[in-house]
Amino acid sequence: MYEALLRRDPEGEGVFFVGVKTTGVFCRPTCSARKPRRENVEFFASARDALHAGYRACKRCRPMEAGRRPPQWVEQLLARVDERPGHRFTDADLRSLDIAPTRVRSYFKQRYGMTFHAYCRARRLGEALNQIRRGAPAERVGPRQGFESISGFREAFARLFGAPVGRGRAVRCLLADWIDTPLGAMLAIAGDEGLHLLEFVDRRAIERQVTTLRQRLGATVVPGVNDHLRRIRRELNNYFDGRHLTFRTRLATVGSAFQMAVWRQLQRIEPGETRSYAQLADAVGRSGAHRAIGRACGDNRLAIIIPCHRVIAADGTLCGYGGGLWRKQWLLDHERRVTEAGGCDGVSQAKPGNRP
């Protein structure tokens, strides 16, 4: 790793990070800064590990943004899928783009939990559902989405959505998008009514959250994008770049009356500020219900937008954040830096959507 650091070897990107003992900063292996002596460095598998060891991010190579974007060939491939949503991509198509099918298969399985062909198939079926909901007949929709036979299309449709094509207009479908951020990848899920979920993909509770969302709404989740997902991607980029700390994406929150009251109070905490669990309990008229407040924060499915990271213990210490305390500390520090620099534009203005 030290030899790779000296060479600024791009193959080390995303594999390891370098902590420099003499400066207290950590860098990417390709950082252009003057290289330290071997005895003055230590190596970490992730930026989080370097932060936990007491290092701060290098301002030159910005290691917190390492891996923020997928490789260029992946971006080009996803753009091609967006351009031809009904095309049935084959290994021959990948080879024509000078991309090895095995490389694509490995990346998508590791990154998205499904093969590239499964991803495309889900996209095609999601688009088929949209067309059927607009009144298009299955005999036309199936071939448009790359299915060679109507019977094959009907079988695939029923298997994914749990209903025959004839009942397609009653099927509810949510779209899921993967958003890379400096703090790790996030999963965003939205329907026509607004954004339902935004969460870090490594959070332990995310599978339960997605399952609960599907069951409550009676919906199927497939890969795709809509206006709400495009907007939250832009707003997250602005947030992490320090341009804006507010969100105006329309939200479709689902919860009990108590949970909704807690989430509304969370949205009233301005960037750069914090509240204690006791203060939140008083604000919703449930003094002493600290644990209930904590559970409501834990059930929040819209990380950062509904800012449960701004809730701390009464003594000022950090506690209780599903995304990890290291992320909570980073978010609070980031918001304070931006507000102190005059870059804050006020409290979150995310539109609440239709309340249950």
| Integer Rg of the chain from CA | 23
Write down the pLDDT at residue 188.
96
Is residue 27 among the annotated active site residues? yes
For the stretch 96-144, pLDDT in tens is 888 888 888 888 887 777 788 888 887 778 777 777 777 778 787 888 7
Taking all residues of the chain, what is their mean pLDDT, rounded to a whole number?
84
Report the relative pairing of strands 186-191 and 275-276 from DSSP bridges: unpaired
- pLDDT at 320 (0 to 100): 80
Domains 2-65 and 245-340 share a fold: no
Nearest CA to 90 out of 121, 127, 123, 129 is that of: 121
To 5 degrees, how large is the angle CA 318–CA 18–CA 42?
90
Q: How far apart are CA 154 and CA 176, in angstroms?
A: 23
Q: How far apart are CA 96 and CA 74, in angstroms?
A: 15
What lies within 8 Å, CB to CB, of 113 at 6+ separation is none
List 31, 120, 297, 308, catalytic entry: 308
DSSP 197: E
To the question of domain 2-65 being in CATH 1.10.760.10, the answer is no
Residue of 27, 61, 120, 297 with catalytic role: 27
For the chain, which residues make up each domain, given as ranges? 2-65, 67-170, 245-340
Say if residues 259 and 308 touch (Cβ distance below 8 Å).
no
Confidence band for 258, pLDDT divided at 50, 70 and 90: very high
CATH class of the domain defined by 245-340: mainly alpha
Average pLDDT over residues 48-70: 74
Residue 57, classed as helix, strand or coil, is strand
Tell me, yes or no, if 120 is annotated catalytic: no
CATH number of 67-170: 1.10.10.60
Asked whether 176 and 219 are in contact (CB, 8 A), the reply is no
